Amino acid sequence: MFQRIDKNLIKEENAKQTGFLNEDYDALANKLARKNIDIEQVTKKAAEFQIAVPSWGTGTGGTRFARFPGVGEPRNIFEKLEDSSVINDLSGCTERVSPHFPWDKVDDFSELKQFSDALDLKWDSINSNTFQDQSGQEHSFKYGSLSNTNKASRDLAIEHNIDCIKWGQELGSKTLTVWVGDGSNHPGQQHFQHAFERYLESMKEIYRALPSDWEMHIEHKMFEPAFYSTIIQDWGSNILAAMELGPQARSLVDLGHHAPNVNIEMIVSRLIQFKKLGGFHFNDSKYGDDDLDSGSLHPYQQFLIFNELVDAEYRKQEGFSPNYMLDQSHNVTDPIESLMNSAASVQRSYVSALLVDRTLLSEYQQNNDAIMASNTLKNAFNIDVSPILAMARLRSGGAIDPIATYRASNHRANVAKARPSSGQSGSGIV
């Protein structure tokens, strides 16, 4: 049976560590004071940081080869919310959940809203799924959705996105994220321009249905499921589409959706400059869209992205308010542990970027002092901000050590009986 994480358990577990944390925090406060940084200001910002959890990330992922179901994994959106509340109660920075429709569709959205309210959770961006057919679907998405040559398939995809907006309104969301798998597998299969024209025409219809206080986020992806061309394959096509649609349309950057070695932080800077940065799907990757845990391989790249974000915040850049969200697949770990670790990893990058001496950096840049400019970033990155993150969690009622407290709670074993495994071991969507 699901039980919300016991606040007393959090207190007991925290009590074991508070003494050491205070010592480490004071030592870091002194170190930062020598650099004229007030640790309390930084901790306050760390405590304000929020990143959304993807509903689908709470289940065990898989590859196109196989999926190994996890014990007690959630079977529906209500159980996904239960697990999301565990993540938020321990991490203190994941109060929003991003649903995916129709995977998370319910008959009664007011019931779902009541359920999330009771768990102190809010709703983030709504993701529409037109990359697979639903059973009995009349017009297939096999050859694309919003860009399909068949108008009836396009209309179905448009209608689904408009439904997503309506469901999102019932949940209190303000953003629609559109990622489509449309593309081609063979050179010559598709007329590039005509396909993009059809996509834009469909997107314009969805855009017209957008409430005035909503945003539409367009997510680009270089490959997969189409392996030769993808309709919104990179940030170029993405920003073109967003510009064509209007000010409520912005681009979303999923870290795994670029060719290896692409300078993602520079893409972020460009999108910020033209008020087109909608948000992020954080994850890490070595080869492609691996969907590994955030910061597990490239923590410096993640920091450099936050360096751009904090710089925009520092300069009070107009129109800057990106959504932060995780988008990962957890194939061999407990998804709750991976999501807590990942949220903290992204929060760490944010906090480290707050420590960059921006006046000094700007002087070095102005004087073309490459080594000192680079060292200014490295100096901030190399400071271990763990005590700030732990203190922010402690003060917001979370756990100093989320994974240790989670394990002490026995959540997985508690829900295992109520959530018997479906026994499926077929391939899963990652």
Contact call for residue 429 and ligand PSV (CB under 6 A): yes
- Name the minimum Å distance from CB 258 to Mn ion: 12
Nearer to Mn ion, 89 or 254 (CB): 254
* The two structure tokens encoding residue 260: 């290896």
Residue ranges in 128-187 that form contacts with ligand PSV under rule CB under 6 A: 179
- Name the minimum Å distance from CB 105 to ligand PSV: 15
Among 281, 393, 411, 412, binds Mn ion (CB under 5 A): 281
Nearer to ligand PSV, 63 or 386 (CB): 63
Residue nearest ligand PSV by beta-carbon distance: 179
* The two structure tokens encoding residue 12: 């007991």
Nearer to Mn ion, 118 or 259 (CB): 259
Q: From residue 128, give the alpha-carbon distance in Å to each of 35, 234, 236, 248, 323.
A: 46, 19, 22, 17, 17
Among 254, 284, 290, 311, binds ligand PSV (CB under 6 A): 254
Q: 113, 147 in Cβ contact below 8 A?
A: no
The piece of 5-13, 25-33, 322-330, 346-354 that touches Mn ion (CB under 5 A) is 322-330
Q: Which of 140, 139, 1, 136 is nearest to 72 (CA)?
A: 1
127 makes contact, choosing from Mn ion, ligand PSV, none, with CB < 5 to 8 Å by partner type, with ligand PSV
Q: 171, 112 in Cβ contact below 8 A?
A: yes
Nearer to Mn ion, 163 or 224 (CB): 224
96 makes contact, choosing from Mn ion, ligand PSV, none, with CB < 5 to 8 Å by partner type, with none
- Name the minimum Å distance from CB 328 to ligand PSV: 9
- Name the minimum Å distance from CB 183 to ligand PSV: 12
* The two structure tokens encoding residue 398: 């979370």
Among 221, 250, 393, 411, binds ligand PSV (CB under 6 A): 221
Among 13, 83, 254, 308, binds Mn ion (CB under 5 A): 254
Rg of the chain on CA atoms, in Å: 22
The piece of 104-112, 205-213, 277-285, 310-318 that touches Mn ion (CB under 5 A) is 277-285
User: Which segments of 70-214 are extended strands (E)?
Assistant: 96-98, 100-101, 122-123, 126-128, 175-178, 183-184
Contact call for residue 290 and Mn ion (CB under 5 A): no
Contact call for residue 182 and Mn ion (CB under 5 A): no
- Name the minimum Å distance from CB 429 to ligand PSV: 6
* The two structure tokens encoding residue 247: 């000010």
Q: From residue 4, give the alpha-carbon distance in Å to each of 107, 185, 272, 316, 361.
A: 25, 47, 39, 39, 46
Q: Which of 131, 136, 69, 142 is nearest to 100 (CA)?
A: 131
Q: Which helix (H) or strand (E) holds 337?
A: helix 335-354
- Name the minimum Å distance from CB 182 to ligand PSV: 12
Q: 84, 96 in Cβ contact below 8 A?
A: no
The piece of 34-42, 145-153, 309-317, 325-333 that touches Mn ion (CB under 5 A) is 325-333
Nearer to Mn ion, 95 or 291 (CB): 291
- Name the minimum Å distance from CB 218 to ligand PSV: 11
Nearer to Mn ion, 282 or 350 (CB): 282
Q: How many contiguous H segments (helices) and E segments (strands) does the chain have?
A: 16, 12
| β-pairing verdict for 323-326 and 96-98 | unpaired
Residue ranges in 94-133 that form contacts with ligand PSV under rule CB under 6 A: 127
- Name the minimum Å distance from CB 75 to ligand PSV: 17
Residue ranges in 398-427 that form contacts with ligand PSV under rule CB under 6 A: none
Q: 409, 89 in Cβ contact below 8 A?
A: no
Q: 304, 377 in Cβ contact below 8 A?
A: yes
**How many other β-carbons are positioned within 10 Å of the β-carbon of residue 108?**
9
Residue ranges in 327-356 that form contacts with ligand PSV under rule CB under 6 A: 327
Q: From residue 417, give the alpha-carbon distance in Å to each of 58, 76, 326, 337, 420.
A: 17, 15, 28, 20, 6
Q: 328, 54 in Cβ contact below 8 A?
A: yes
**Count of residues in contact with ligand PSV, rule CB under 6 A:** 10
Q: Which of 130, 237, 124 is nearest to 179 (CA)?
A: 130
Contact call for residue 281 and ligand PSV (CB under 6 A): yes
429 makes contact, choosing from ligand PSV, Mn ion, none, with CB < 5 to 8 Å by partner type, with ligand PSV
Among 87, 327, 389, 393, binds Mn ion (CB under 5 A): 327
Contact call for residue 124 and Mn ion (CB under 5 A): no
- By the criterion CB under 6 A, which residues form the site for ligand PSV? 56, 127, 179, 219, 221, 254, 281, 289, 327, 429
- By the criterion CB under 5 A, which residues form the site for Mn ion? 254, 281, 327
